[in-house]
Amino acid sequence: MTKSLHLALLVCDTPMPEVLEKHGDYRTMFSIVFGLAAKDLDVTLTWDFFDVVEAQEYPSLKDIGNRTYDAIVLTGSKYNAHDNTPWIVKLVDFLKTMRVEYNQSVRLVGICFGHQIILRSSGGTTGRNEKGWEVSSGLMLLLCVLIECRLATLKYN
């Protein structure tokens, strides 16, 4: 039986031109990658996309309270999670409000910058790496024991 997940993607940047040309924007990339995983797990995905940088769009707190979304996903970004640029402060405040009003019941997934923003909104601190950016690729082994954690710990049953 096919299960469904409704996800909100908070788009925190536009990829570099060469990445954008080859792979598309974050909406496209996340839809493809999550879609491949979902297909393997017999899950259908529905996405709502929110531009938190330029348009400063966010899911409504009413939708969050009604559990419209199974999870909120934050993309990566070239920006610094420890910066106080107005849109970053607004993003941190939005996540803080969600946590306070909904008792941390909202599932969050953050990729790089997104993960750091989740940390910051939870009271943690971030800072510049004195050695610069860290970028690497490597093999990952996913164990069958983790099958309970489907799609990065999103539970749908």
DSSP sequence for 39-102: HHTTEEEEEEEEESSSS-----HHHHHTT--SEEEE---SS-TT---HHHHHHHHHHHHHHHHT
What is the per-residue pLDDT for 142? 58
Task: Tell me the CATH number of domain 3-128+136-153, given options 1.10.287, 3.40.50, 3.40.1350, 2.60.40.
Answer: 3.40.50
Q: Contact, 74 vs 109, CB < 8 A? A: yes
Its pTM stands at 0.83
- Domain regions of the chain by residue span: 3-128+136-153
pLDDT tens figures, 67-120: 999 999 999 999 999 999 999 999 999 999 998 888 667 899 999 999 999 999
**pLDDT digits 0-9 by tens, 50-76:** 999 999 999 999 999 899 999 999 999
